[in-house]
Amino acid sequence: MAVRNKAQAWVFAALKEIRQKLPFSLLGIDSDNGSEFINKYLVEYCQKQKLSFTRSRPYRKNDNCFVEQKNYSVVRRAVGYARYDTEAQLHLLNELYATLRLYTNFFQPTMKLKSKERVGSKLIKRYERAQTPYQRVLAAAQISETEKQRLRAKYKTLNPAALKRKLMRIQDQLLKSTASNKALQVRPRQCRNDRYFPNQPGELKS
């Protein structure tokens, strides 16, 4: 979810909205060391909601390695590295993220590492069967049946081809909105020729 700036008010509002969309109960927050997270408002919120609140070590990005990985493989590959700072661009980004969330969670399978074994100088890795986040949630015993039914109903309303076309349209609008910006030299990965939405399961390539 895109916010206007790093002010804690916007980040806090986005956090509460994201929490409402989760198909499971939020148990805790593990943030980086930015002031948009490390402030008394978020601490008090976590205390009232009985959420654990931890932070990563300074200059240790690998403490949040899974988040950092998705920042590149999902977010940056979709929006690029241009500077988006207008109200119109904010709305476009949130429209793109809302569509990308549905496409990624319902239709993009990934493989999870199951085990790894060292044999001499070789490291042998074994992976679970590729599944979408949606399929993993349905298989989770911790998720209520009511929530699973809601997700199944949502899945039936979605068309992956339509989501793909919508993403391409929003990407084009973002590109045009920054046409005079030098940051456009690093462009978001377009969906054409199925480079952004590959046929191979288990990864999101461009």
- Indicate the pLDDT class of residue 185, thresholds 50, 70 and 90: very low
Q: Taking each helix axis from N to C terminus, what angle separates 87-107 and 160-177, rounded to the nearest 10 degrees?
A: 150
Domain that holds residue 158: 84-206
Report residue 205's pLDDT band, with 50, 70 and 90 as the boundaries. very low
Are 200 and 139 part of one and the same domain?
yes
pLDDT tier for residue 181 given thresholds of 50, 70 and 90? low
Region 109-122: what's the mean pLDDT? Answer: 92
- The answer as to whether 159 is a domain residue is yes
Q: How many structural domains does the chain have? A: 2
Reported as a single tens digit per residue, the pLDDT across 130-146 is 999 999 999 999 999 99
For residue 71, being part of any structural domain is answered with: no
Is residue 26 situated within a structural domain?
yes
Q: What is the pLDDT of residue 69?
A: 83
**Residue 49 is assigned to a structural domain of this protein:** yes
Are 197 and 168 in contact by the 8 Å Cβ rule? The answer is: no
- The DSSP secondary-structure symbol of 200 reads S
User: Does residue 37 share a domain with residue 126?
Assistant: no
- Is 73 within a domain? no
Looking at the structure, do residues 25 and 100 belong to the same domain, yes or no? no
DSSP H/E element including 68: helix 65-70
Do residues 90 and 180 share a domain?
yes
Domain match, 90 and 54 both: no
Residue pair 80/186 in contact by the 8 Å Cβ criterion: yes
Flag whether 75 is in a domain. no
pLDDT, tens digit, 9 for 90 and up, residues 75-106: 998 998 888 889 999 999 999 999 999 999 99
What DSSP assignment string belongs to 73-133? IIIIHHHTT----SHHHHHHHHHHHHHHHHHHHHH--B--EEEEEEETTEEEEEEPPPB-H
How does strand 52-55 pair with strand 28-31? parallel
Q: What is the pLDDT, as a whole number, of residue 82?
A: 87
Residue 169 φ/ψ, nearest 5 degrees: -65, -45
Q: What is the pLDDT of residue 160?
A: 96
Q: What is the CATH number of the domain that holds 1?
A: 3.30.420.10
CB-CB neighbours of 188 under 10 Å: 23
Closest-CA residue to 135 (of 159, 99, 171, 111): 111
Q: Is the model's pLDDT at 74 over the cut of 70?
A: yes
The helix/strand/coil state of 163 is helix
Tell me which of 198 and 190 has the higher pLDDT.
190
Residue 73 — very low, low, confident or very high, per pLDDT cuts 50/70/90?
Answer: confident
- Both 118 and 53 in one domain: the answer is no
173 close to 165: Cβ distance less than 8 angstroms: no
What pLDDT shows up at residue 121? 92
Beta-carbon contacts of residue 163 (< 8 Å; ≥ 6 apart): 99, 102, 103, 107
48 in a structural domain: yes
Which range of 63-77, 152-166, 168-182, 191-205 scores highest in mean pLDDT? It is 152-166
- Selection from 23-37, 49-63, 88-102 with the highest mean pLDDT: 88-102
> For residue 25, is pLDDT > 50?
yes
Give the mean model confidence (pLDDT) for residues 115-123.
93
Give the lowest-confidence range in 101-110, 116-125, 133-142, 177-186.
Answer: 177-186
Cα–Cα distance, 30 to 19 (Å, whole number)? 14
What does the DSSP 8-state code read for residue 57?
P
The neighbour count for residue 171, using CB atoms within 10 Å, is: 22
